[in-house]
Structure 1
Amino acid sequence: MNRNRRTLRWTVPALAATALLGSLTLAVPAPAAAFDRPAAVSTTDAATADGPRPRVAAPKISRDEEIRRAEVWLKEKVPYSQEKTWKDGYRQDCSGFVSMTLGLPKPGPNTVALKNDGWTKPIKMSELRRGDLVIKANSSSSNERHVVIFDGWKDGRNSYLAYEQAGHVGTRHTEHTYGLEKGDGYAAYRPVNLSD
């Protein structure tokens, strides 16, 4: 019986210490990197009148700032890669480039997410304004999906200038007809974080 009292005398304080230390472990603050991300938004089938909400809130950005950011990669001649990220933390593919220009979370949503996850809303090709996007996301192959940043009409609206990050060439400012030819799979979208 004397032995049971000694065991009990050490067991109770040991259990209390374990409980106390266990609760302290839960109180450890989150890593500093967690505070660098934008505040989360509810994603449980959340939707607005314009479609689903993005997974996180993107900061508002002007069309001029978006184009200024596109010019940075153009001047730096960023090479194309679906695997690598540039020194700014964004993927070096077309959707990573667009994500960088819009200030979206790094390394950037892919082309399908830009279209479907609330980062953009569909518009008509005739409504395109500088900084809007032309996206082809309905393909089973990532090599056939693409997104460009509209920069203005040319040739009586038979073509337009666009910024893009393209395979074998990297960042460029060039003329396109994507979305103007029936059945090519491209459509116009307006980023929801543009401040207009």
Structure 2
Amino acid sequence: MPSSRLPLRTATALAAGLTALTLAAAPVHAQTAPAPEPGATVIDHHDKGGAGQGPITPFKGQVAGAPSALAASVQITRSEAIARANGWVGKGLDYSWTGSYQGYRTDCSGYVSMGWKLATPGLDTTSFVPSGVASWIGKGDLKPGDALLNDAAGANGHVVMFDHWTDSSQSSYVGYEFTGSGVHHRTIPYPYFSGLGTYRPVRNNSIVDDVVRRPSLVGVYHQANQTFYEGNNAGGTLGSAKYGNPGWMPLAGDWNGDKVSSVGAYDPTTGKFYLSNDNGTTATTVTFGNPGWIPLAGDWNGDGRDTIGAYDPTTSTFYLTNDNTNTAVNVTYGSPGDKPLVGDWSNSGRDSIGVYHPDTQTYYEGTITGTTLGSAKYGNPNWTPVTGDWNADGTTSIGAYDPTTSTFYLTNDNGTTANSFVYGSPGDLPITGAW
């Protein structure tokens, strides 16, 4: 079984709660506002809630009072929603349900409609959810760009765009809101100041998480002592971990979707994979494929999590699974003697297959249906092919490792060497990952 973990780099793991909670109304007893976070606007704590909202203006062909014509919101990232909300802070705008700025009503719901890039002049608090623009979520699901909504009508309703929690207790947050005295970015007790109705978390159905791309980095696996060394693409070491047994083959992937690659190993005699989320403790053990097949790892369906695959070199067939159990794709691609490749060749958000022909040092980038997207000749005889998104542009490029000199050669355009450096020792096997 895999050995215990050695000291390794510190990695930040992101976690998001998925429990749907129904929040009760805030108690109607006196409540003291939390201390404002540095940088947040400090205003009179009595200035809270809405001060009236303007009506929804029907569009041509829309029945008056029906919000469906406003339900077609465009996709927006969380950072864009926050930036839009921040754009009204400090403008000196007056709260008015009959006024407008940049086409949006200058009231609480018009402001959040603007932040979410909805159609002008904006929805009101009663319409965000019924129109299909937004959905109720749980407290643990709140992310920047979501909102706390009191969906009552008129001056009884109010909405605040959520920015971030003030601390891990999640008892208060920093939010953007338009009240009677203007637009504010301030600290607010969760879910809102007491005595002003029921507030629940809500999410724009068209908001998407920002894509955080991290460059692929190289490393080596020292076969003599089953140790992974994670490099920095400049010849330095970020961390190391001992994992696996003699004769096993190294593997790396983001097995749990935390955006950080961890190690794994494949026993070619049993066809068994061992995957670790912390570079030490085995989280998943699964048999997939047959002895002698070549192990693979990739995000085949674009869900942000790497799963395993295997390549049968005798038939040039790829077998890929999205759940580490059942074969989702099997496709023949390449020729006998080719080495399998994995990469997102077209910036699609999902990995695909490819092969390297060692006799001609030619890389072939394929699709999971077995067609070829492109090819490139790179490197010298006896070099080992590697692939990765070296410049974090979303597209996988090729590279090569010279085992005689322990030198990596990386290219961002599948032709011109952008980076080369010595890393590892004779006999090491190259690996890549987002360490």
Calculate the TM-score normalised by the size of structure 2. 0.31
SS of alignment partner, residue 74 of structure 1: coil
Q: Does 1:82 align with 2:94?
A: no
Aligned residue in 1 for 2:176 = 163
Aligned residue in 2 for 1:179 = 191
Q: What is the aligned-residue identity percentage?
A: 34
* More strand by percentage: 2
Distance 1:67 1:145 in 2: 22
Distance 1:104 1:55 in 2: 7
Note if contact 1:153-1:160 (Cα within 8 Å) is conserved in structure 2. yes
For 1:91-106, what aligned pairs fall within 5 Å after superposition?
A: 91-106=105-120
Alignment-mate amino acid for residue 77 of structure 1: G
Note if contact 2:96-2:106 (Cα within 8 Å) is conserved in structure 1. yes
Distance 1:127 1:182 in 2: 24
How far 1:184 sits from its partner (Å)? Answer: 4.0
- How many matched pairs? 144
Aligned residue in 1 for 2:201 = 188
Any unmatched runs of 5+ in structure 1? 1-39, 44-51
Aligned residue in 2 for 1:124 = 138
Aligned residue in 1 for 2:76 = 61
User: CA offsets per residue over residues 152-181 of structure 1, 9 Å max, x none?
Assistant: 1124211100001111x2110011124267
Distance 2:70 2:132 in 1: 8
Q: 2:122 aligns with which of 93, 103, 108?
A: 108
How far 1:186 sits from its partner (Å)? Answer: 0.4
Distance 2:70 2:121 in 1: 14
Return 125-134 or 173-182, whichever deviates more: 173-182
Q: Does 1:144 align with 2:159?
A: no
Aligned residue in 2 for 1:27 = none
* More helix by percentage: 1
- CA change 1:70–1:160 in 2 (3 A) is same
Distance 1:116 1:186 in 2: 16
How far 1:116 sits from its partner (Å)? Answer: 2.1
Aligned residue in 1 for 2:386 = none
Distance 2:189 2:93 in 1: 23
Distance 2:135 2:68 in 1: 10
Larger Rg over CA atoms: 2
Aligned residue in 1 for 2:318 = none
Alignment-mate amino acid for residue 100 of structure 1: M
Calculate the TM-score normalised by the size of structure 1. 0.66
SS of alignment partner, residue 107 of structure 1: coil
User: CA offsets per residue over residues 110-159 of structure 1, 9 Å max, x none?
Assistant: 1111132111111011211111010001x35x112000000111242111
- CA change 1:183–1:145 in 2 (3 A) is closer
Note if contact 1:132-1:188 (Cα within 8 Å) is conserved in structure 2. yes
Note if contact 1:89-1:107 (Cα within 8 Å) is conserved in structure 2. yes
SS of alignment partner, residue 70 of structure 1: helix
Alignment-mate amino acid for residue 174 of structure 2: L
Q: Which has the higher contact order (CA 8 A, sep 6+)?
A: 1
Any unmatched runs of 5+ in structure 2? 1-59, 210-435
Distance 2:144 2:157 in 1: 21
SS of alignment partner, residue 201 of structure 2: strand
Q: Does 1:134 align with 2:142?
A: no
Distance 1:124 1:183 in 2: 20
Note if contact 2:129-2:135 (Cα within 8 Å) is conserved in structure 1. yes
Note if contact 1:163-1:173 (Cα within 8 Å) is conserved in structure 2. yes
